[in-house]
Amino acid sequence: MKGGLLRGRGLQIYTWLVIAWLVLPIAVMILFGFNDTHGRYNTAWQGFTFKWYGKLFEIGDLTQALVNSLLIAVLTMLIAGVLGSLIGLALGRYRFRGSGAMNLVMFAAISCAEIVMGASLLSLFVTLAVPLGFWTILISHVMFSISFVAVTVRARVMTLDSSLEEAARDLGAGPWTTFRLVTLPMIFPGVLAGSMLAFALSIDDFVITNFNSGGTMTFPLWIWGATRVGLPPQVNVMGTLIFAAGVLIAVANALLARRRANA
């Protein structure tokens, strides 16, 4: 039994080492947002400073790229959130001809290599001579997010009891009222989770955006373009703030869920 205990402890240490490996580049990113550099390069540690937090928006096109990213992510969250939820509801609740084909298309969209998706969408835009920019980026982000939202919502719908909706109908509620007062509140956690996933996928996407952006910059594209000349500390600070916001939302979400479970 002692050997088993030791092995358990060894695996625990191992797990923490893997977590440390996963977190290491994030720690480096956060640390060098506090680096007191003076030249163009943020490579050697020069001392601690908060100044980059004050000069966060001094690089105009970087700020614009971040604004574009946030705007596209919010719009993707809303559009893909609605379209994907409707698909998830249909697949989770109804039995109908063609649902197999729909599942197949969604599986293909989720497992398709990003570069193939990005390249084929660019093929369409090039063939139709559609000018690339903000709107083509938005189109592509909604396209790759829909299936993820649909799968998330479908999973939620499948766990629900449809007898509540039947009860609402028996009590004389019309289809729209039933949807608004019974179905939507029940599936809402799934809709919210799916929409947040769409937001996260959109703000992080590089490959598909790179193919369909034309001259429009997003945050990951700007970083990519600046790699050769060296990243300014503002990028580290923006990355840190996005990271912090993500951690806060996740922790708040977990605390709310726990409170609800205890109540």
Site string for another protein, 134-173 (x = CB under 8 A): -----xx-xx--xx--xx----------------------
Is the Cβ of residue 12 or residue 159 nearer to another protein in the bound state? 12
Site for another protein in 71-90 (CB under 8 A): 82-84, 86-87, 89-90
Exactly one of 2, 4, 38, 259 binds another protein (CB under 8 A); that residue is: 4
**Binding of another protein at residue 237 (CB under 8 A)?**
no
- How many CB atoms sit inside 10 A of residue 149's CB? 31
**Binding of another protein at residue 133 (CB under 8 A)?**
no
Site for another protein in 27-66 (CB under 8 A): 28-29, 32, 43
Exactly one of 227, 259, 260, 263 binds another protein (CB under 8 A); that residue is: 227
Interface stretch with another protein, choices 3-11, 49-57, 160-168, 185-193 (CB under 8 A): 3-11
| Token duo for residue 159 | 């766990």
Interface stretch with another protein, choices 47-55, 56-64, 104-112, 181-189 (CB under 8 A): 104-112
Exactly one of 182, 187, 198, 235 binds another protein (CB under 8 A); that residue is: 235
**Binding of another protein at residue 99 (CB under 8 A)?**
yes
Orientation of helix 219-226 relative to helix 233-262, angle to 10°: 150
**Binding of another protein at residue 252 (CB under 8 A)?**
no
Q: Residue 239 Cβ, how far from another protein at the closest point, in Å? A: 5
How far CA 222 is from CA of 142, 213, 225, 235, 242, in Å, comes to: 21, 11, 5, 9, 16
| Total of residues contacting another protein (CB under 8 A) | 84
Interface stretch with another protein, choices 47-55, 57-65, 187-195, 243-251 (CB under 8 A): 243-251
Listed in sequence order, the residues at least 6 apart from 136 whose beta carbon sits closer than 8 Å to its beta carbon are: 121, 125, 130, 212, 213, 214
Interface stretch with another protein, choices 47-55, 57-65, 120-128, 183-191 (CB under 8 A): 120-128
Rounded to the nearest angstrom, the gap between the alpha carbon of residue 190 and the centroid of all alpha carbons in its chain is 15
Is the Cβ of residue 23 or residue 164 nearer to another protein in the bound state? 23
Exactly one of 6, 167, 181, 250 binds another protein (CB under 8 A); that residue is: 250
**Binding of another protein at residue 211 (CB under 8 A)?**
yes
